[in-house]
């Protein structure tokens, strides 16, 4: 098989509203980008654009259970950023929005300082207030179209599915990228479906091209070579970094494998 598609740039992700027409992927919408109102704590959308040249190559997803606690998960995310991770996603199914807000704000600030993307899982309100670049939702969350109606034009909206038809619907509704998996068997999510493998990832990527597709589920550095030729934009990892003794080194190892094989 051949190599994955060429490495994505920020312009390939923004703005997401134009993704309903594949021929206009990456074309800015008409009119100025709305700016936050006076007193709004969010940074202006134009100031959020990351400097990482390959923004969806590696999304590090937090998990306090695997990391050994919420503070440890935040520390692991910061270590991943220091190692060069181009994106962080805050995922916490236990703590309240009020408890997560200071964490989200700290991570959003750290991501901006490192030129990386910051996503919040599920919670659109938290993502907006914290100044995130985007939110990641799934079938049990708000529909993509509803999320799109709530957020600025520059805001990124990821959607999880392993079905080509559903992924195509998400693209038409305004998704910025698709999180596709479970690639390999994983214990991170109790409700994870059957593993679809690289072939399943390739089917989804082909269905929604040129929309970026990110593989997730059981991803390890030694498995990334198998993703060559799938058309993926990158991978999202949880245990490979959150469960690592040295998150910094684990992130560097993943990035090296991605650079070599994708």
For helices 97-114 and 70-83, give the axis angle rounded to 10 degrees: 10
**CA nearest neighbour of 120 among 148, 154, 97:** 97
Is residue 16 a contact partner of residue 174, using CB atoms and an 8 Å limit?
A: yes
Number of other residues whose CB lies within 10 A of the CB of residue 1? 11
Is 160 annotated as catalytic?
Answer: yes
Report how far residue 16's alpha carbon sits from residue 12's, in angstroms, rounded to the nearest whole number.
9
Does a cis peptide bond (omega within 30 degrees of 0) precede residue 182? yes
Report how far residue 251's alpha carbon sits from residue 130's, in angstroms, rounded to the nearest whole number.
25
Q: How many CA atoms lie within 13 A of 112 on its CB side?
A: 17
Is residue 134 a contact partner of residue 119, using CB atoms and an 8 Å limit?
A: yes
**CA nearest neighbour of 212 among 3, 22, 85:** 22
Residue of 7, 49, 106, 189 with catalytic role: 189
Residue of 14, 64, 70, 160 with catalytic role: 160
**CA nearest neighbour of 178 among 210, 149, 152, 148:** 210
Q: Which helix (H) or strand (E) holds 118?
A: strand 117-121
Is 189 annotated as catalytic?
Answer: yes
* Distance from the first to the final alpha carbon of the chain: 12
Active site residues: 91, 160, 189
């Amino acid at each position: 098989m051949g190599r994955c598609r060429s490495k994505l740039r920020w312009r390939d992700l923004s703005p997401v509203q134009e993704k309903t027409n594949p021929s206009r992927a990456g074309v800015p919408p008409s009119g100025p980008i709305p700016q936050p109102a006076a007193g709004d704590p969010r940074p202006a959308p134009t100031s959020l654009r990351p400097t990482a040249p390959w923004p969806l190559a590696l999304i590090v997803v937090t998990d306090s259970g695997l990391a050994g606690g919420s503070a440890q998960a935040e520390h692991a995310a910061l270590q991943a950023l220091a190692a060069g991770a181009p994106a962080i996603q805050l995922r916490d199914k236990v703590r309240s929005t009020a408890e997560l807000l200071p964490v989200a704000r700290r991570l959003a600030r750290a991501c901006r300082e490192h030129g990386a993307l910051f996503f919040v899982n599920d919670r659109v309100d938290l993502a907006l207030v914290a100044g995130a670049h985007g939110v990641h939702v799934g079938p049990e969350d708000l529909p993509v179209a509803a999320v799109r109606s709530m957020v600025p034009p520059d805001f990124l909206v990821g959607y999880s599915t392993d079905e080509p038809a559903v992924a195509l619907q998400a693209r038409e509704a305004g998704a910025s990228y698709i999180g596709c998996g479970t690639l390999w068997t994983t214990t991170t999510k109790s409700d994870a479906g059957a593993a679809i493998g690289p072939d399943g990832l390739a089917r989804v990527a082909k269905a929604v091209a040129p929309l970026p597709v990110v593989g997730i589920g059981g991803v390890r550095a030694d498995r990334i070579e198998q993703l060559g030729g799938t058309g993926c934009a990158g991978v999202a990892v949880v245990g490979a970094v959150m469960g690592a003794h040295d998150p910094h080194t684990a992130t560097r190892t993943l990035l090296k494998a991605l650079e070599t094989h994708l």
